[in-house]
Amino acid sequence: MEELYELTKQPRIGPGANDAKEAIVLNRVIRWTERGVEYEADPRQCEKLVAECGLEGANPVATPGVRASFEEVEKDEPLEPHLFSAFRGSAARANYLAADRIDVQFGAKEVCRWMAKPTQQAWNALKRLCRYLVGLPRLVFRYDFQHAESVEVYTDTDWAGCPRTRKSTNGGCTFLGSHTIKTWSSTQSSVSLSSGEAELSGIGSGIAEALGFQSLARDMGWNYEINVHSDATAALGIARRRGLGKVRHLDVTDLWIQEKVRAKVVTLHKVEGLKNPADVLTKYVDQASMTKALEFMNLRRMDGRSGIAPKTMGL
């Protein structure tokens, strides 16, 4: 193939004396350590995003965003048309980066909600996210060697958190043992009439993700139990009982959650709100809460730049 195509061959990583300790896979950095394997995003995406927004060398901020007040929402104005393309391109890059950066996943999702009709507030939110990345350009997933017996899912929902549409946000993270294997932050498609309804939808999303991973694991010969954790007492109560009870406004399709619980396909657990790592995927939180959640997910901050990481051209 080398006679016909230009190829880049990556080394084999592993514990052996002749094995490499770092490699590039789809432009991500994979690293072998004594504790396990580390994984980090393509640093060029962060560098290009900051450069596109003209914020190289800007003063960093401690959090990726702040919730807009009602006054700011009312005074918001459409973005100048000549900035539409720049905003959409940078927002798309932020969304791509968010797959490997849990800390900006909610912020990137919120920015991308205004792709069709960009506003000044959305542009400011994108620049705020970039200033956060200036101060924290590198975040590393750590996968220490372990023996896992269950899939742990943490879910959370910010009920009616959007000041414009009053739609809620679902957030969640899936762990295999202590390993973070999937996270998500998504706006619910319809307005929930109560916090219990919103949280029940969030639990349903978490169960669906866990069942998908469980099916994949079974194809590989592994069988894991599913434990779902939520801080929503009302939603847990609805999920554990049989039927709708007095909660008339819930959609009947949500009751499949009860079916999974009765069949013992999943086990539900109550977790304290301050100890729920999914909280950072539903809203903007303070620096201390973000740090605590990232530590729970076994992520760590690093300075500098990996020596084998792809170089950013033209910057």
Judge if 102 and 215 occupy the same domain: no
Judge if 164 and 281 occupy the same domain: yes
Judge if 246 and 152 occupy the same domain: yes
Query: Is 172 within a domain?
Result: yes
Query: Is 279 within a domain?
Result: yes
Judge if 89 and 152 occupy the same domain: no
d(CA 279, CA 175): 15
Which domain-ending residue is among 89, 107, 137? Answer: 137
Distance of CA 78 to the CA centre of its chain: 28
Q: How many CA atoms lie within 13 A of 141 on its CB side?
A: 21
Query: Is 301 within a domain?
Result: no
- Residue 194 confidence (pLDDT): 87
- Residue 311 confidence (pLDDT): 84
Judge if 129 and 155 occupy the same domain: no
- Residue 6 confidence (pLDDT): 86
Judge if 132 and 207 occupy the same domain: no
Query: Is 123 within a domain?
Result: yes
CA dihedral over 52, 129, 87, 202, signed as positive or negative: positive
Judge if 121 and 160 occupy the same domain: no
Q: Which domain holds residue 163?
A: 147-296
- Residue 77 confidence (pLDDT): 96
H, E, C per residue of the chain: CCCCCCCCCCCCECCCCCCECEEEECCEEEEECCCEEEEECCHHHHHHHHHHCCCCCCCCCCCCCCCCCHHHHHHCCECCHHHHHHHHHHHHHHHHHHCCCHHHHHHHHHHHCCCCCCEHHHHHHHHHHHHHHHHCCCEEEEEECCCCCEEEEEEEEECCCCCCCCCCEEEEEEEECCEEEEEEEEECCCCCCCHHHHHHHHHHHHHHHHHHHHHHHHHCCCCCEEEEEECCHHHHHHHHCCCCCCCCCCCHHHHHHHHHHHCCCCEEEECCHHHCHHHHHCCCCCHHHHHHHHHHCCEEECCCCCCCCCCCCCC
Number of structural domains the chain divides into: 2
- Residue 238 confidence (pLDDT): 85
- Residue 310 confidence (pLDDT): 84
Total Cβ atoms within 10 A of residue 234: 15
- Predicted confidence pLDDT, tens digits, the chain (315 residues): 888 988 888 889 999 999 999 999 999 999 999 999 999 999 999 999 999 999 999 999 999 999 988 889 999 999 999 999 999 999 999 999 999 999 999 999 999 999 999 999 999 999 999 999 999 999 999 999 999 999 999 999 999 999 889 999 999 999 999 999 999 999 999 898 889 889 999 999 999 999 999 999 999 999 999 999 999 998 999 888 887 676 666 766 678 899 999 999 999 999 999 899 999 999 999 999 999 999 999 999 988 888 888 887 655
Query: Is 313 within a domain?
Result: no
Judge if 120 and 178 occupy the same domain: no
d(CA 202, CA 209): 11
Query: Is 64 within a domain?
Result: yes
Q: Return the axis-axis angle of helices 233-240 and 195-219, rounded to nearest 10°.
A: 60
- Residue 126 confidence (pLDDT): 97
Q: Which amino acid is at 13?
A: I
- Its pTM stands at 0.92
Q: Is the CB of residue 308 less than 8 Å from the CB of residue 23?
A: yes
Query: Is 105 within a domain?
Result: yes
CATH number reported for the structural domain that contains residue 261 in this entry = 3.30.420.10
Judge if 53 and 126 occupy the same domain: yes
Vertex 138 angle, CA 136 and 140, to 5°: 125
Query: Is 16 within a domain?
Result: no
- Residue 314 confidence (pLDDT): 58
Judge if 220 and 261 occupy the same domain: yes
Which domain-ending residue is among 76, 108, 137? Answer: 137
Judge if 170 and 119 occupy the same domain: no
Judge if 68 and 133 occupy the same domain: yes
